[in-house]
Structure 1
């Protein structure tokens, strides 16, 4: 009898060790909303050249729900949130990745004005989703002066921490208040969120850009990389599935054609460290969710890269479209986009992203009709004929887009949230998107973007080992 009991206990222990998940598997959902860029000055009356903070370049009358030359009016903010409630009123959680104020010169803002705008948006979101937890981070426009977020604590960060206290655990709240970052488990799932403070890595942030590598805050501002590496190591031991989230993504902006070297957001030293962090912890990082571009795109991270070999894809990053339709001067084409919101389906145990559904507002049509009707734009898997969303499948998608113009045109239409015709994206534009998606490292991007669009001499070589390495992802 004793021998039988020992055997049974042995079986139980084996089951506990090999099956570490204690939550019931289900398919959950969460929203990713970003880049509201709420323009409190927007109006539809008066001088048509001065209807919003940004000076408009055309003579059309601005509409009720916004204008491609302006940031987001209150009516568009409200319409986007109402659409989220209508489509999925009870998500598991909501990622809110920052940039809440308009693209406005610092002379028009103060710390109080920035906090008040974040406060207004927080209240609107909280009233619309009273029983849903938000995981928010700040964007580079959520500070005064813009972009100049200091390392460590600040008055503005402290005030925003008070606004978001309801949503964060005590530990996460304290971490955000002190450093603008946090990690927290998603209740009832095996997913853990790591909210990064990407603003101290921004090349336009002089608080860190002027610091030499010999300064601790120059090499690793606020020791955030050390912190993240440590947390990721702990979470791997707990066998959690991690979602990295932040406002500014690493790599190169996919719509900047003016110079072959592209347009980067991170200081080079931080871009390199971010890539290394992802490579070292790819096994625990299930997915990454970033913003800032206002466009719909994705990025891939690789291991074992050589000069003429991209290596093996090990992680991916989804860049979500923004609510603002604002026309960026960084794009050679229109630079604008239709407002977009994103609903993601995921496995609550494995953390695997099952579907990415994007909804959009045809802004011109909404202004014409006098009503804002956010419509379904596309599902990621069916649009791109994918059976799963993982690093390998997205790398195959990127390669196929490079060779198949019909597939690329689908991606390019989605990139501006169904605003811009793919016909405006010529050969150099095609190459830029390919290189931005597949080469997050700046030097490798430069080499890629200087090459020929037909250059595929290394594209298939490394995929022989992919299936063996990533079969369990």
Structure 2
């Protein structure tokens, strides 16, 4: 019987390090549910089954949804109850926002009351499936109306969302969250681990209520205080939020933080590298990661991007299979050891072949790494960078072509099976190795110069895709 990597690293540590006890913990990360209550198989003559498609016709609509639509209730219910079936007693759950569906006709399809209903329904599902589990929830850019326009000042929508999530908040956390959308808490199962829940909507480049200057809602001041106090107390920190710093890995030059806020975030990660055990974000709907480096270019921290439950990204060719993720960590050190990515094959489910959530891959096993630390992922990024996108020229696997293609496939949760060429390779590598804006531009320029290409040649290829992605 094959041993799952679920806690294999812990078993190895127990055998190798006999002088201390190593206890594994696990937690779920779920995000970007985007519940489209209007999804219907009663197709019109234009074959549009949902308002979340932005008027694109359906690809293959069925009872579980469509790749051009956001999640219907059946898919959402399946995702949460499959998590319960796979691992019913996680130490906690990270839920990084975006419950409300996409639409470019908000006045027609959405209102504040409906938005509350959607968020309440998803919250109730999670509470019913995991009644005694600690849940950390963050606000997404679609968890406000109009989307992307969440102000940094106290407002009714954030206050009412705090009420919806009241069961998961202590009195102090509730008092802070309802005013700001952020809070933090020590985890129940790892008493030296604090989870910092950020409201990154206040740092969003596409939020017209902020200007990219100052400190909206005093969040940076509070954030640094949390990191400092954790350091003094000897605690470790997980950071979570919806919109992440850095760049989107499928489109060149696509970023979501204001430059100044991006710089401040990166500086804090470098300053408190010994405190931060992991960063957990979403928003992209894809499966990727980012590596942070110190001034000496030593890898110091990892940001893990979890893919979405919704199969929709933003264009007809921009879909993913739904995914949820189970992380494995060591409780004493709070070190992330591995994670298991689960996939729901939407087409197979609609075709009646298989409607089960299955293991897509285990990270450590798939990439042959000792763990998912910053150093391990740095080593992996170097393999991606060295990969021959034209294919291996011999049986020697030093070109790492297969491993790059595997990463490209997993990036869309095994949906897009096209070949990752040199442009794709550049976008992946620069996004994962350069969170800082200037370093990212240097990476892109260096790559383009190395192959004798100019940046503007690529921008046009992805321009339409990038514009639609602004509606994330």
Q: What TM-score do you get using the length of structure 1 for normalisation?
A: 0.84
Matched, 1:74 2:73: yes
Q: Deviations over 1:440-467 (max 9, x none)?
A: 11121112112237969xxxxxxxxxxx
Match of 1:462 in 2: none
> How many residue pairs end up in the alignment?
414
| Contact 2:33/2:98 (8 A) holds in 1 | yes
Instruction: Give the drift of 1:188.
Output: 3.1
| Runs of 4+, deviation exceeding 6 Å | none
| Contact 1:225/1:277 (8 A) holds in 2 | no
Structure 1 gap segments, 5+ residues each: 1-22, 212-217, 306-310, 457-473
Match of 1:118 in 2: 119
Instruction: Give the drift of 1:427.
Output: 0.8
In the TM superposition, 1:49-68 aligns within 5 A as 49-53=47-51, 54-58=53-57, 60-68=59-67
Instruction: Give the drift of 1:177.
Output: 0.9
Match of 2:393 in 1: none
| Contact 1:427/1:453 (8 A) holds in 2 | no
Shift in alpha-carbon separation, 1:380–1:110, aligned structure 2, 3 A? same
Match of 2:271 in 1: 280
Match of 1:214 in 2: none
Q: Distance in 2 between matches of 1:80 and 1:195?
A: 23
Q: Distance in 1 between matches of 2:37 and 2:123?
A: 15
Which one of 319, 323, 326 corresponds to residue 309 of structure 2? 323
Q: Distance in 1 between matches of 2:140 and 2:56?
A: 26
| Contact 2:49/2:58 (8 A) holds in 1 | no
Match of 1:89 in 2: 88
Shift in alpha-carbon separation, 1:234–1:70, aligned structure 2, 3 A? same
SS in 1 for 2:209: helix
Match of 2:98 in 1: 99
RMSD, matched Cα: 1.8
Q: Distance in 2 between matches of 1:353 and 1:339?
A: 23
Structure 2 gap segments, 5+ residues each: 1-19, 387-399, 452-472
Which one of 350, 355, 362 corresponds to residue 345 of structure 2? 362
| Contact 1:195/1:244 (8 A) holds in 2 | yes
Q: Distance in 2 between matches of 1:360 and 1:59?
A: 21
Match of 2:291 in 1: 300
Instruction: Give the drift of 1:198.
Output: 0.2
| Contact 1:172/1:183 (8 A) holds in 2 | yes
| 178-187 or 368-377, which deviates more | 368-377
Instruction: Give the drift of 1:25.
Output: 5.2
Which one of 35, 38, 43 corresponds to residue 35 of structure 2? 38
Matched, 1:146 2:147: yes
| Contact 2:273/2:301 (8 A) holds in 1 | yes
Matched, 1:224 2:225: no
Q: Distance in 2 between matches of 1:455 and 1:356?
A: 35
Q: Distance in 1 between matches of 2:157 and 2:58?
A: 38
Which one of 406, 409, 416 corresponds to residue 413 of structure 1? 409
Q: Distance in 1 between matches of 2:334 and 2:418?
A: 33
Q: Deviations over 1:364-421 (max 9, x none)?
A: 0010017621111001101111112211111011011122211111211110001111
Match of 1:233 in 2: 228
Instruction: Give the drift of 1:116.
Output: 1.3
Instruction: Give the drift of 1:327.
Output: 3.7
| Contact 2:59/2:66 (8 A) holds in 1 | no
Which one of 20, 23, 26 corresponds to residue 26 of structure 1? 23
Instruction: Give the drift of 1:50.
Output: 2.2
Q: Distance in 1 between matches of 2:380 and 2:356?
A: 31
Instruction: Give the drift of 1:170.
Output: 1.7
| Contact 1:56/1:70 (8 A) holds in 2 | no
